[in-house]
Amino acid sequence: MPKVVTKPSTADSIPSVPRKPHHAHHRRLQRQSSKWSVNSAGEADDERTPSPPDSRMRPISQDEQSSGSSTSSSAAAYPGEDSRPTSRKELLGFYTYSFAAEVFVVCGLGAFIPITLEDLARASPTAVRADDHSKACNSHPHGIDLYDLRDARTVSGTSKAPSKQCVFNLFGAEVNTASFAMYTFSISVLLQALVVVTMSGAADHGRYRKALLVTFALTGSIATMLFLPVTPAVYWLGSLWAMVGNVCIGASFVLLNSGEVRTSYESWAGHGQQRSGEHNSDRHVADDTTPLLQAAEQTATPYPLSAATPSPQMQLSTKISSYGVGIGYIASIMVQFLSVFILRTTGGSLFSLRLVLFTIGLWWLSFMIPAAIWLRPRPGPPLAFGHGAKKLSWSGYIAYSWVNLGKTMARARRLKDVLLFLGAWFLVSDAIATVSGTAILFAKTTLGMESSALALINVMVTLSGIAGAFTWSKVSRMMQLTSSQTILTCICLFELIPLYGLLGYVPAVQRLGCFGLQQQWEMYPLGAVYGLVLGGLSSYCRSLYGELIPPGSEAAFYALYAITDKGSSVFGPAIVGAITDATGEIRPAFFFLAILVGLPIPLMYYVNVDRGRWDAAVLAEESAPHVVEEEEQAEE
């Protein structure tokens, strides 16, 4: 079935459209709009009524309308298409994978993997004090003499006393033990970007999306469990398992995000087909296979006439995304309490940290299984479909992925709002990762906090993240904020964190002996602010980006999203590390963080969702393989 795009009827529906489609394309949009536009009473609307800009938003056939079946589906648009409406069980599978995998992100990458890698390096045979190579670093269970740290720290946290940094021999080079985790993360980010690009073609086309998701989840969870037998003598194995886990979690979430876009579109179609006045939340599902949003009568869902009114699609996508993040945070808080219990009962040793990581991997593996059962494959169109050629092999999909990356970047250059958003997201995601890593390092080395205390900070972050994921949509609706305005609000709140850290340089605050991150307890309220911001950004940024990308190219554009997300994280931590090496302190890095958090504000301010949605739909229609054939038929 050809993709259908219709232009909004009023001039104020979209503030500005920088270009118009050529005449043949415009005639085709007008000719096909009548196939889509049906009002709430079931009557045909005129061709000016806008319609959903996606090929999956199909009209209900006459047979389906007459039968009133909620489980019926239209004829497949390509061989192997699964056109069944989204069921409750399928959505449950999406939430279950978030419940399984978010634990690795929050508990593993966010806290215990960096600590474990540094402790493995500190306990390695070649590790010595940076200021005295005659002293080993493994006297304390975590390689740090906490008394010495507190004694060397002044009230302002800016003492010139010698630090207790450690160095060790890494393949013949003398490396700081704290840098070991940073280098591991940087390499894993590079590998993750390569893998995401390589598998994007197979994810977007054919039947491989679910198989790839299960494969990455299985590999990543097992790699995390393999931290348990790692000892300081083979510390490099910890680095290897961390790389594998980070690559797998990134790739699996790209695949899940692509599926979530399709789920949102399918659910939106069902939402548009509900009876007038019947709310989505009041529907009852008969069984596990009944469509999540049952269809009765088709209604047209025009673009919002005001930029302050989100489209039904964006509302549903944001709701699904927010609930997914919130459910993942619920799982994380459960595992974090379990981790604190393990650390307290086993003495907080290096073995305790490895046991915690084993538990995280086991959790990921266990809850991945039901998610794999409930999620449908939802195969995409074969690459060769419509061209009379044979299906591509795996090597063909890989080659296509890299070629398509170049094409995706070229196409993205035509989408002004995608470029603005990706630029802002590059800076935001870098700030998120850098603030998190800097805070852990600052709390451990400057404030002298132990692993169990750091885990409690992570609990605070997760609790506030749950609140943010579930309440930001209500706050935004109550204050009548658009998605981009909600994101801007989160960023401004985020800016308070580095600014608060800089209060430690104010003489009056220094004399108080507290505030400005001079006491350990101050990390907990800051963690709450960080979690609240992260909960809003995680759900709204992903949903907003989904509104701006061309329909039918979800995996390719989400691969670009993931590359922007993870690739940016290389720069922030490296700059913070350079500042720390140059000054001997971590606190000066808060100046850089304040600038980094503030930079995306002007970029996000100029993102126009209505314009971006229209541009993406037009670009998708122009790029479709059936465009030329339809134009030739129209001319005849």
Provide the pLDDT for residue 224: 96
C-alpha–C-alpha distance, residues 398 and 205, integer Å: 12
Provide the pLDDT for residue 206: 64
Domain residues for the domain of 440 are: 91-157+167-275+319-621
The H or E element containing residue 527 is helix 523-548
Tokens of residue 401, six digits: 């992925």
Establish if 50 belongs to a structural domain.
no
**How many domains is the chain partitioned into structurally?**
1
Integer CA distances (angstroms), 595 to 492, 535, 599, in order: 12, 22, 6
The CATH number of whichever domain residue 432 belongs to comes to 1.20.1250.20
Q: Enter the pTM of the model.
A: 0.69
Establish if 336 belongs to a structural domain.
yes
Average pLDDT per 10 consecutive residues for the chain, totaling 636 residues:
39 38 42 36 34 39 40 53 68 88 89 87 84 71 41 40 67 78 80 81 72 92 95 92 93 74 49 43 36 34 40 63 76 89 87 94 94 78 54 70 78 84 89 84 77 84 79 85 87 92 86 84 90 83 82 72 76 77 76 92 88 82 58 52
SS3 of residue 122 by DSSP = helix
Q: Which residue has the tokens 């307290």?
A: 344
Establish if 43 belongs to a structural domain.
no
C-alpha–C-alpha distance, residues 182 and 580, integer Å: 13
Task: Show the 3-state SS of 442-473.
Answer: HHHHHCCCCHHHHHHHHHHHHHHHHHHHHHHH
Provide the pLDDT for residue 20: 40
Strand order in the sheet with 173-176: 128-129, 166-170, 173-176
Nearest to 184 by CA among 457, 588, 569: 569
- Residue 372: CB atoms within 10 A of its CB come to 18
- Taking a C-beta distance cutoff of 8 angstroms, is the pair 50, 311 a contact? no
C-alpha–C-alpha distance, residues 160 and 180, integer Å: 24
Q: Which residues touch 126 (CB under 8 Å, ≥6 apart)? A: 168, 169
Provide the pLDDT for residue 91: 84
- Residue 371: CB atoms within 10 A of its CB come to 22
pLDDT in tens, 91-143: 888 889 989 998 998 889 888 998 888 889 888 888 888 777 888 876 444 44
Nearest to 491 by CA among 452, 529, 459, 521: 529
Count CA atoms closer than 13 A to 35's CA, side-chain side.
17
Establish if 51 belongs to a structural domain.
no
Provide the pLDDT for residue 365: 95
Q: Is 579 left (phi over 0), alpha (psi -120 to 50) or beta?
A: alpha
Q: Which residues pair with 173 in a beta bridge?
A: 170
Provide the pLDDT for residue 568: 76
Percent of the chain's residues with pLDDT above 70: 65
Nearest to 69 by CA among 262, 284, 273: 273
Integer CA distances (angstroms), 462 to 133, 329, 366, 458, in order: 40, 6, 21, 6
